[in-house]
Structure 1
């Protein structure tokens, strides 16, 4: 009996210690947030990632604490993402990432984090509609005519991108694979100089976001063949979707998402996810985004995590097919 009492006492001591450790975590989640939140945007100020990040950050401030946006560009968004991976798993450092978040594991020989193991996706926040544009001198009037033209003269037509392994590069490679054509990839340091060379006739074509291209399309400086969204873009009503152009399975959308470190309390993850979802439902936010060719999504955490896992697998296939690797 005496021995049993000693064992029970030891067990109770261990249980008490465990409870004492758990209480601060539970209390922290219950009163979250009780201090400012750092929102790491993995890009320079002024771009789409930064614009959407600041909209989301303003929405999160409705939880009662300031949200401080910190721009950390570089490394195909991996530098900013790494900063989130190094932060405590308490929900006070979160990150805004782009499609490159799902591409980088396949493109880079090594990363300072594991994309699927080290992060939980709070929200698949928005989809960015991309458009396939060509120089006005190209005689094709639609996607099918462009494909036929490229098949007649394989390897003749240069197509630009923001750089090796960027989402518009992989959209090009997936377009090549699906159609059986060969458009020559020409990497640039960003989408803007590539777009300038499509305007100038140095490049035949490129995939680019609608926001960057719409003024040039309206002015007749480039021709838009198809958009990647499920429905036509209001500001480009005469441009069909890829599905309407006969490519029902082709997906050239980009996206933005909000992530946090794995190990963050589930209550905190859920609260952050609901905050983003509510922001994406606000009429003024929706109207502003749709006018920019951006589709508000605001998916909740469990659905968003499944989406990222599928995107990592999808881009892994595209990267393998394109033979892209960055040391």
Structure 2
């Protein structure tokens, strides 16, 4: 069974049949449309493909509406800051001067990388029309298409190997982070402080295997787009850690109870909107209240719960305030 996904593949297959590359001369390829459902946004709208927001089959606000653009303008910079792996790097700077230089360097680096990606995939949209229905396959398919036409098909392997190597590196890092958090931060700190090294080793291996198996089981029923999973994971981590980190660094009134409350508030809001979206759309998609990405509401929920706990809870330890902020006013107010 040959599965054809794009009009480009249909055209290419018919060309091979006519040239004799395909053994069966009686083979014909056609596209049949069994049913038709109008788009939720953009149906029968003049100029829908050349004006914003674009047509969307499920979203009534359209594709890349203004609220979505604003959300992602906020999402990517702040969500990246809220990642635990990035927090460790941010805390490793020896002074603010190094941090400022790093910001400039990273800005230049990402500008070059992402500008190149934009040009490449705009070209892919023209050279391989129809890939919109399978966007996650665009990069490897485009690499194979270009290298085959250039007469160096082996180069596609190198081009595809680079992102897959990055993915594998990220996956094993997250496995180690989860294993370390469960074994070192939870078990060894709160269950058995005198646990022998052999037990720690066994638990580390066990947690790593269990998390890996759970990840494989989740992959058996993946979302329609890989980007949905990336946004869910990135937004969830930032919703949990961003507000607690910012308040802990810059506000002397922040307390341990408020930190836990902020983490629970952000995570709860994130999971709640995701479940709401899944029930409403019958697919893996978070609910966008007022057209804004759930990440915005995650931060609002996290901040609100932290402020409530700070207002109702005890004052922070005076010695800690003096140690980290050289200020005792927060503990007196």
Question: When the two structures are superposed, what TM-score results if normalisation uses the length of structure 1?
Answer: 0.24
Question: When the two structures are superposed, what TM-score results if normalisation uses the length of structure 2?
Answer: 0.24
Larger Rg: 2
